[in-house]
Amino acid sequence: MDFKLSNGFFDLCVNISNNDPVHLKNVLLRLHQMGYRTVALNQILHENVFDDKKKKKNDESKESSSMVPNPIDVSKLNKEFEGKLHILNRITFICSNSTKTHAVAYSANLKKYDLYAIAPTNDDMLQFACTQINADLITIRPSVSGVKMKRKHYQQAVERGLSFEIQYADLLKPETRKMAIYYAHWFYTYGRSMSVIVSSGAYDASYIRNPYDIINLGSLLGLSEEKSKAAILKQSQLLILRAERRRCGKAVFTVEFTEELTEESSEESSEEDMLVEECL
């Protein structure tokens, strides 16, 4: 299996708000103009879809596949933006009940996504996400209040290879800004902001910001300049590598960097090399 990694900036949560291809292309053009080189188009799955259907025990796999949507076809977009953007598929499951994550795990459609994020809506689900779920990313939505995390659960999540996400679009909205900052400071309090990525969470091109503006914003989020830069570069690369390992198991795949590595970036790639070796 061949797998390409870009040395450019990453935005691993661009929300798909409608089926308007012109709107989506405008967003992608904006991302490229701002200096991003790898982006993930995010589709949201809410646990309510499982409440609307009664699953038959012997047909669980078929039923769960029908409720997890197919990812949008990015092959044409990747061809159109070849040499400019590498476009991935992501799904985010908003969930309060751990049993429903098992149904998602049975879905054949899940493996079609490059990234699988979980958005827990209560303490129990957050603990389960940190300690057991086979996902790539944990994102805490600012609309959820009263959720608490323990230091040991954060550390367990990091040890298991999960990342945590900050979406800066939440900082641009007055109604979500306060909680977004609060949860961002969690990551520093419980784990010194280890394994944290920053993505836009944008539905529209107007929410996309220059990567260097995001790096400067890091101090507001409890991130040093170094960790702010890593959140849209190195940590995002590691997240994609770990996600590929989850999808492929112990398969063999090659990692190709799309630009020649500098001495500085070569040093930062040591963790990626270790991850690749684990997959061989």
The C-alpha atoms of residue 24 and residue 22 are separated, in whole angstroms, by 5
Query: Residue 47 is part of a domain; what is its CATH number?
Result: 3.20.20.140
**pTM for the complete prediction?**
0.86
Is residue 183 in a domain?
yes
pLDDT at residue 98, as a whole number: 93
Strand partners, 4: 256
The CB density around residue 261, as the number of other CB atoms within 10 Å, is 12
Rounded to 10 degrees, the C-alpha dihedral 28/30/34/40 comes to: -20
Report the distance separating Cα 92 and Cα 90, nearest Å. 7
Q: How confident is the model at residue 154 (pLDDT cuts 50, 70, 90)?
A: very high
Burial of 156 (0-12, 13-18, 19+ CB in 10 A): middle
Residue 100 has pLDDT above 90, yes or no: yes
Residue 134 lies in a domain: yes
Q: What percent of the chain has pLDDT over 70?
A: 81
Grouping H, G, I as helix, E, B as strand and the rest as coil, residue 92 is strand
Quote the domain boundaries for residue 184: 9-248
Structure tokens at 109: 């459609």
Question: CA–CA separation, 182 vs 186, rounded Å?
Answer: 7
Tell me, yes or no, whether 120 lies in a domain.
Answer: yes
Residue 261, in any domain of the structure: no
Tell me what the mean pLDDT of segment 171-195 comes to.
92
Residue 265 has pLDDT above 50, yes or no: no
Domain-located, residue 4: no
**258 lies in some domain:** no
Span 200-209, average pLDDT? 96
Q: Is residue 255 part of a domain?
A: no
What pLDDT score was predicted for residue 279? 46
Domain-located, residue 272? no
Rounded to whole angstroms, the Cα distance separating 23 from 81 reads: 15
> What is the pLDDT averaged over residues 231-255?
82
Does 64 score more than 80 pLDDT? no
What would the mean pLDDT of 43-60 be, rounded to a whole number?
A: 71
Domain count along the chain: 1
Q: pLDDT higher for 11 or 245?
A: 11
Query: Does pLDDT of 277 surpass 70?
Result: no
Confidence label for 249 from pLDDT (cuts 50, 70 and 90): confident
Site of tokens 């708000």: 17
pLDDT given at position 53: 61
